Structure 1
Amino acid sequence: MKTLLHIAFLFSVSIAMGQTGLFNNGNLQVHNNANLGLHTNFINNASFEQTTGLVGFYGNNAIQVSGSFSPTLWDTEIMSLSNVFLQNPVLVQNNVNFIDGNFLTPVNNQAVYLNFMESGFFSGESNASKITGFAAVNDRDVFSFPVGDQQQLRPLTLNSQSTTPLAICAYFFENPSNPSSILENFDTEEKVNTIGTVSDREFWIIQSDVPAQVTISWNPRSALGTIPNATVESIIIVGWLKSANEWTIIGNSAFSGDITQGFITSETFVPSDYAAITFGTIPLPRDTFAVNNPTLGNYFLSPNGDGINDFWIIDGLEESPNNSVRIFNRYGQKVFEQLNYTNEFRGIANTGTMIPNQSAGLPEGVYFYLVTLDDLELEYSGFLFLDN
């Protein structure tokens, strides 16, 4: 029996509004591992579910995939220099071969994506050929999304605790505070106080209802080295928590590289709880001060004019110019208070009504202090021994 082969090639029709393309109204089929090469728009208005064969996108002109039905392809490939624009989802059961050009999706519509079904995979992804917009995966627990922007491939690997029915992902080389391609914005200044800086260079959107870890990477274009005091050890994954409308720490389980290039794996979280994720840093000045100064200790003050311990010096206070210092006597009465302290205390009270002849100086004894470092969000307490 003769092999039945249906091939459509360079088949184009016109409609009143000037749209050209290959229309499927129910009669289009690809049989017995045949190849269908599309050099024009594909308008799919009927069921199109291929279980064999390849439907590829080729040529130098932009191609749009649209219609009232989402096509299901077995294999597909792209060699289209002007890209392929998806106006509705395209489902792939087997292989996507990236050669040249990008699959583009509307980034303001997360329901349109190139969808890798349960056994779908891909090959050949590169800076020149990838998904610019949303990619999706069905019924998988581990998957690396071949997403990026027009210039670079910026993949995200999802490692779910169990099979996720649907996960979607996209990458944006844009400032989260003011992205140009989506309607939402994620102000990098709206963050919990345990975050130092949120990257203003790039972000990912990853959505899945199953707890998972993600792995993302940075490169010279990420410019993490321009963040003040940033080191590779200070980099963390942060996410815009939908319920709080602010950036919070997702956390890290592994990282490798240097400040110029590397990768990081998050702690387990539920991706759909977050509208976006990117890189942040822990506030190093605060952490460094806290580590180096678990307490400020106790102090000895002898303001007798001999040049030794004449006034109270708190080492490292320059790291928090916004601060406050309070001193109390053994009865709990506040005898000294100073905002933005710069070593002014010389044993003389500046507040309180229970201290007679304040200009003569406080009596000898033990005093209790509270030091609040507003810039570092730290508070210390201890004792000060006054000897006249």
Structure 2
Amino acid sequence: MQRIFAILFILGVGFTQAQTALYNNGNLRIHAGGNLGFHTDLINDVPFDNNLGLAGFYSNTPIQVQGSISPTFTDVEFLVPSNLFLGNNLNVLNNANFIDGNVLTPQNDQTIYLNFGDIGFFTGENDDSKVSGFAAIENREFFSFPVGDQTQLRPLMLESEGITPLAICAYFFEDPSSPSSILESFDVNEKVRDIGTVSDREFWIVQSDVTSTVTISWNLRSNLALIPNATAEDIIVVGWSKQANQWVIIGSSARSGDISQGFVVSEPFIPSDFAAITFGTLPLPTDTFAVNNPTLGNYFLSPNGDGTNDFLVIDGMEESPNNSLQIYNRFGQKVYERVNYVNEFVGESNTGNLILSQDIGLPEGIYYYLVTLDDFQLEYQGFLFLDR
């Protein structure tokens, strides 16, 4: 498909041509073995899907594809060094040949994409010719999306556990915390504590309702080497959870390379549960407490003098002498507070904001605690049951 066709427009086939655009409002069709070249904007307002030959876009100036109905081509090639812009979808049934120039889609609109059908594929993709915006697939299990930004090809490989009716993907060389191309933002500092660092250089958006794994790669531009003490073995896939509104670990089943260049394969996940994915790292060695202690647990306290559970002993607090403990009742009232806690709580309030008998102590029931470990810059929460 490397041959380039430059076809003169044929008169009298149900379309009109203005100076700046070709308007298809008739029965235009590419027959088997036929070739049609577009050298100007295409505005398509009628079904344009019974095409068996080759459609080519050729121009030294930008071309736009617009209209109310998406055109569908069996084979298509792109030779538009100044880029082809999609204002609506363009469907590919067989081969899309990238020769020169990017196919652009609106990066803030996930409903417009270059769409590959169930046997569609592509050739010729490179740093100068790819999809900058959203690409999509229909009824596929495996696909490598030819996406990137204006200057680099940054593909994402999707492998699903079943046929996915529709999957879309785009790449952004932007800080997830403050992207310029989309309205959403994904603060790299909003993360679960078992993530060390979230990349602030780039991210992908991939959406599919079928459980899948993804493979993404990093290079020198990714700048993962700038993360303190990071190694290739520390790289993991993280995603911005739509439910939790923070970065969480998706996980990594395989990785290869060094800190300057490599790739990582995620654990299975449902892409549509996440608004964005990128690279993260495991916590630094000084943060291994967080890895080994994802929770401090829930506790039972029975201060009756029998020597069992008379004091609240929270596991791990001794590893951070600079700490604090706050305890709240079920109404949200703070009933106990201690800085540098060392097993002093015996079921009595010390905040002075409740009318309680210190001889009787706090009533039996469930309480909520908040622990801050300043030495690790960590916070934990949990429940304790006070028995009388």
TM-score computed with the length of structure 2 as normaliser: 0.74
Partner of 1:298: none
1:375 aligns with 2:379: no
* Equivalent residues of 2:241, 2:274 under 8 A apart: yes
2:42 counterpart residue number: 42
- Give the secondary-structure state (helix, strand or coil) at the position aligned to 1:197: coil
Asked whether the 8 Å contact 2:50–2:72 carries over to 1, the reply is: yes
Counterparts in 2 of 1:377 and 1:153: CA distance versus 1, 3 Å: same
Q: Which amino acid aligns with 1:375?
A: F
Q: Do the aligned residues in 2 keep the contact of 1:23 with 1:44 (CA within 8 Å)?
A: yes
Specify every segment of 5 or more residues in structure 2 that has no aligned partner in the other structure, as ranges: 1-6, 294-318, 325-339, 347-370, 381-388
1:59 is displaced (CA, Å) by 1.7
Mapped partners of 2:103, 2:68: distance in 1: 19
Name 1:255's counterpart in structure 2: 255
Matched-pair contact (CA < 8 Å) for 2:194–2:290: no
| Alpha-carbon distance in 1 for matches of 2:79, 2:17 | 22
* Matching residue of 2:386: none
- Choose from 11, 14, 17 the match for 1:13: 17
- Using a 3 Å threshold, how does the CA distance of structure 1 residues 28 and 228 change in structure 2: closer, same or farther? same
Q: Secondary structure at the match of 2:236?
A: strand
Q: State the distance in 2 between where 1:290 and 1:166 align.
A: 38
Which 4+ residue blocks in structure 1 deviate beyond 2 angstroms? 7-14, 285-293, 319-329, 370-374, 376-379
Corresponding position: 1:277 with 2:277 = yes
Helix, strand or coil at the partner of 1:198: coil
Q: Which amino acid in the other structure matches residue 46 of structure 2?
A: A
Partner of 1:335: none
| Structure 2 equivalent of residue 173 of structure 1 | 173
Whether the 8 Å CA contact 1:286–1:377 is kept in 2: the answer is no
1:69 aligns with 2:69: yes
1:208 to 2:208 alignment:
yes
- One-letter amino acid matched to 1:236: I
AA of the residue aligned to 1:219: N
The 5-angstrom pairing of residues 2-151 of structure 1 reads: 8-9=8-9, 13-14=17-18, 20-151=20-151
Given the alignment of the two structures, is residue 267 of structure 1 paired with residue 267 of structure 2, yes or no? yes
Q: Give yes or no for contact 1:10–1:39 (8 Å, CA) kept in 2.
A: no
Moved more, 185-194 or 201-210: 185-194
In the alignment, the residues of structure 1 paired with residue 272 and residue 292 of structure 2 have an alpha-carbon distance, to the nearest angstrom, of 38
What is the match of residue 345 of structure 1? none
Amino acid at match of 1:207: Q
Per-residue displacement from partner, 1:150-205 (whole Å, max 9, x unpaired)?
A: 01000000000001000000000000000011111111111111111110000000
Asked if structure 2 preserves the Cα contact closer than 8 Å seen for 1:286 and 1:376, the reply is: no
Given residue 156 of structure 2, which amino acid in structure 1 is its aligned partner? L
Q: Tell me how far 1:66 sits from its aligned partner.
A: 0.4
Q: Structure 2 matches for 1:335-346, cutoff 5 A?
A: none
Q: TM-score, normalised by structure 1?
A: 0.74
2:201 corresponds to which letter in structure 1? Answer: R
Kindly state the Cα deviation for residue 75 of structure 1 after the two structures are TM-superposed: 0.3
Q: Secondary structure at the match of 2:233?
A: helix
Aligned-pair CA distance for 1:231: 1.1
Deviates further, 36-45 or 164-173:
36-45
Q: Displacement, 1:33?
A: 1.4
Rounded Cα–Cα distance in structure 2 between residues aligned with 1:328 and 1:155? 54
Q: Deviations over 1:60-105 (max 9, x none)?
A: 0100000111000000011111100000000000000011001000
> Aligned pair 1:244/2:244, yes or no?
yes
* Corresponding residue number in structure 2 for 1:366: none
Q: 1:118 to 1:279 in 2, by over 3 A?
A: same
Structure 1 unmatched ranges of 5 or more: 1-6, 294-318, 333-369, 380-388
Q: Contact 1:320/1:376 (CA < 8 Å) preserved in 2?
A: no
Distance 1:124 1:97 in 2: 6
State how 1:286-325 maps to structure 2 within 5 Å: 286-288=286-288, 323=323
Q: Distance in 1 between matches of 2:248 and 2:205?
A: 15
**Which amino acid is 1:175 matched to?**
D
Could you tell me which residue of structure 2 aligns to residue 217 of structure 1? Answer: 217
Seen in structure 2, the aligned counterparts of structure 1 residues 193 and 371 have a Cα distance that, compared at 3 Å, is closer
What amino acid does structure 2 have at the position aligned with 1:111?
Answer: T
Bigger Rg over Cα: 1
Q: What is the alpha-carbon distance in structure 1 between the residues aligned to residue 27 and residue 292 of structure 2?
A: 74
Mapped to 2, the partners of 1:238 and 1:378 lie a distance apart of: 21
Q: Is the 8 A contact 1:42 1:65 kept in 2?
A: yes
Deviations 1:316-365 (A, max 9, x none): xxx97955755569x99xxxxxxxxxxxxxxxxxxxxxxxxxxxxxxxxx
Q: Which amino acid counterpart does residue 86 of structure 1 have in structure 2? A: L
Amino acid at match of 1:13: Q
AA of the residue aligned to 1:145: F
SS in 2 for 1:272: helix
Amino acid at match of 2:278: T
Say if 1:10 and 1:38, in contact at 8 Å, map to a contact too.
Answer: no
Distance across 1 between alignment mates of 2:250 and 2:132 = 25
CA–CA distance in structure 1, aligned partners of residues 258 and 140 of structure 2: 31
Within a 5 Å distance, the mapping from 1:357-368 to structure 2 comes to none
Deviations 1:213-241 (A, max 9, x none): 00000000000000112111111110000
Letter in 2 for 1:110: Q
Q: How far did residue 291 of structure 1 move? A: 9.0
2:287 and 2:376 in contact (8 A); partners too: no
